[in-house]
Structure 1
């Protein structure tokens, strides 16, 4: 696999346009054709610029915000915006989609996007898993906070049991990352109230669909999405009026977003050792590769190496639960005023983590669902357009 290369990738938007997109413009001789070419070039260059600007915004995040729920939601927002602009480009160039080599590029993108749907399903399942852990935090909070006077032994036992269940669940999920043994829920299936009867136990995923097989692997799926993902050659850019470049860019956005989701959220057989290769001509490659490097560095930290997900809130939950567990182990009754104060402090810390999960997970899940449906819609419309073109 090629190594990551991004040194010298600080070319301006102008140089980028001149070196790649304007090659087609140089082929045009008539004034009328030149006007049409310029109009299309503006649209394509605007897409490249938006991708670069959006990823620059993502890469400027502070370390303590990287991989937080808020940041992941911004990442998905970037994907949705890029996807919508890309969809518009395809719609405005329907007549070119079934011409070689553009037909091959478009079909390859649609194949990659289908693989992305499986990742979305797995991520949604992982969010549900985090919600199960959140319920254990809620039990701890209910047992220990807002108690009149000192907390009794019964409340401590209840909190201790919830913390043990949480620890077991997270440990089981870490093991599930290496032993692929579950399936994932599909967005295509409606979830009614009866689905509560089928909720999996902590650390074990159960199937509500056959959308992902038992031996499905997030690592292998990412590898499949990135397989043969190379920039179009100069003659292909010219032959496709620059459209092949837009497809390549959107393919890379899809690839990176799916990789980042797998890095952050618990899912089946996570693997982060995916290489990204973008030449210096792509201005969006600089922030994208910077983020890739930062996320990899985060995964190598001692306290994150065996994490079931790099999501900031998972790490905070693990730390707070560990501290609370140690504190409870050291409590003797009757509880001293000093210990009671420590318990209240730990409860406050746990409450902050709980509130972050409670307020962030549902909107995050809705965005993952929206990404799923946007990919489906774009693929369906694109295939329909190609089909109509073949019959004209």
Structure 2
């Protein structure tokens, strides 16, 4: 979706983007407009880079890892903006702080749910390893064990993760806080709240995509409408439409899972199961060897992809947690929020498991 060409205007091609969120006659200095413009242009670029190259790339684990990397970058961008605004916490309105803490704890809960589901999927790899190990010796006894492990994998994949259900409620709560707080007497506050709106919208979209991928349902996909006054609105609408349309199409076609690497493993299991179900004739030796090899390759890709994705989810968790720590520390001791962001950049905390 391309934006119609318009004559060049300073800072914003759509006129004053604050017309809908600030009283008539309110003033933002050129410096603040430049800061906001730079933030939104960067956000637009990150969203454009996140769009999958083709339909086959939607919900590959490699794309999901890139999506989580993008969230890490965007949340780091908002910290950089806070630093540039030089907005002391003592000047923050209580409602800004309340919204920030409320949203951040919701994001931490979502990260925990995603980490839990990734761990559950990784546990399924143990069954596949047992299958491959047992088929190394083509005896009837080993075939029985291989079938048992295949059944165990199927049952494990069919099980439900209760943390995902709670994640849906958290996401609903996050969506209800998208509206911008009313800002009256703080030009810097207007810039901050508008930038945070962009961060929240993109974060919610990515989280809804992850939830759809992990849950086996497209019901929780979001379809957010963003005002065109935002420089990143067209890129966001393009990404949302493309990814959501493809995911819904996948589920409509009857796919059990829309995760590309997991689907490949499921296909390999279905192909291998009949071969080991009733034993093996000599003529089927090559079929068994090929099926086992294919399953081993797809299982390795799934395991490696999950490991990399887990690291990015943990990294995002740390970024959100460090932001909370920075603000909490600042509220206790007073001072400048940007200083605390820098001071708490490398704060560590337990990894989510």
Tell me, yes or no, whether TM beats 0.5: yes
Quickly say closer, same or farther: Cα 1:314–1:124, change in 2 above 3 A. same
Correspondent of 2:228 among 280, 286, 296: 280
Deviation at 1:97? 4.9
Q: Does 1:356 align with 2:348?
A: no
Aligned match of 2:98: 107
Judge conservation of contact 1:94–1:385 (CA < 8 Å) in 2.
Answer: no
TM-score w.r.t. structure 1 length? 0.72
Quickly say closer, same or farther: Cα 1:161–1:10, change in 2 above 3 A. farther
**Secondary structure, in 3 states, of the residue corresponding to 2:57?**
coil
Correspondent of 1:258 among 196, 204, 207: 207
Quickly say closer, same or farther: Cα 1:8–1:54, change in 2 above 3 A. closer
Correspondent of 1:172 among 145, 149, 159: 159
Correspondent of 2:144 among 157, 171, 195: 157
Deviation at 1:121? 0.6
Q: Does 1:17 align with 2:12?
A: yes
Judge conservation of contact 1:124–1:368 (CA < 8 Å) in 2.
Answer: yes
**Secondary structure, in 3 states, of the residue corresponding to 1:95?**
coil
Cα distance in 2, alignment partners of residues 291 and 389 from structure 1:
39
Judge conservation of contact 1:219–1:271 (CA < 8 Å) in 2.
Answer: no
Q: Does 1:380 align with 2:325?
A: yes
Deviation at 1:295? 3.4
Quickly say closer, same or farther: Cα 1:11–1:75, change in 2 above 3 A. farther
Cα distance in 2, alignment partners of residues 280 and 249 from structure 1:
12
**Secondary structure, in 3 states, of the residue corresponding to 2:95?**
helix
Q: Does 1:134 align with 2:108?
A: no
Deviation at 1:133? 0.9
Aligned match of 2:291: 346
Aligned match of 1:75: 67
Correspondent of 2:274 among 304, 317, 326: 326
Q: Root-mean-square deviation (CA), in Å?
A: 3.5
Moved more, 367-376 or 52-61: 52-61
Cα distance in 1, alignment partners of residues 296 and 40 from structure 2:
42
Cα distance in 1, alignment partners of residues 290 and 252 from structure 2:
23
Quickly say closer, same or farther: Cα 1:376–1:234, change in 2 above 3 A. closer
Correspondent of 1:244 among 172, 193, 204: 193
Deviation at 1:39? 3.5
Cα distance in 2, alignment partners of residues 382 and 292 from structure 1:
31
Deviation at 1:291? 3.6
Provide, for residues 97-150 of structure 1, a one-character-per-residue CA deviation record: whole Å limited to 9, x for no partner: 5547x55345313311210101111111111111111111111122225x5xxx
For structure 2, list consecutive stretches of 5 or more residues without a partner in the other structure.
337-353
Deviation at 1:266? 5.0
Deviation at 1:21? 5.5
Deviation at 1:374? 0.8
Aligned match of 2:244: 295
**Secondary structure, in 3 states, of the residue corresponding to 1:261?**
helix
Judge conservation of contact 2:48–2:239 (CA < 8 Å) in 1.
Answer: no
Cα distance in 2, alignment partners of residues 371 and 114 from structure 1:
13
Correspondent of 2:169 among 220, 224, 237: 220
Judge conservation of contact 1:316–1:353 (CA < 8 Å) in 2.
Answer: yes
Quickly say closer, same or farther: Cα 1:111–1:299, change in 2 above 3 A. same
Q: Does 1:55 align with 2:47?
A: yes
Judge conservation of contact 1:143–1:156 (CA < 8 Å) in 2.
Answer: yes
Aligned match of 1:371: 316
Cα distance in 2, alignment partners of residues 350 and 370 from structure 1:
30
Deviation at 1:376? 1.1
For structure 1, list consecutive stretches of 5 or more residues without a partner in the other structure.
1-6, 29-33, 177-181, 185-215
Judge conservation of contact 1:156–1:328 (CA < 8 Å) in 2.
Answer: yes
Aligned match of 2:110: 119
Quickly say closer, same or farther: Cα 1:38–1:385, change in 2 above 3 A. farther
**Secondary structure, in 3 states, of the residue corresponding to 1:282?**
coil
TM-score w.r.t. structure 2 length? 0.79
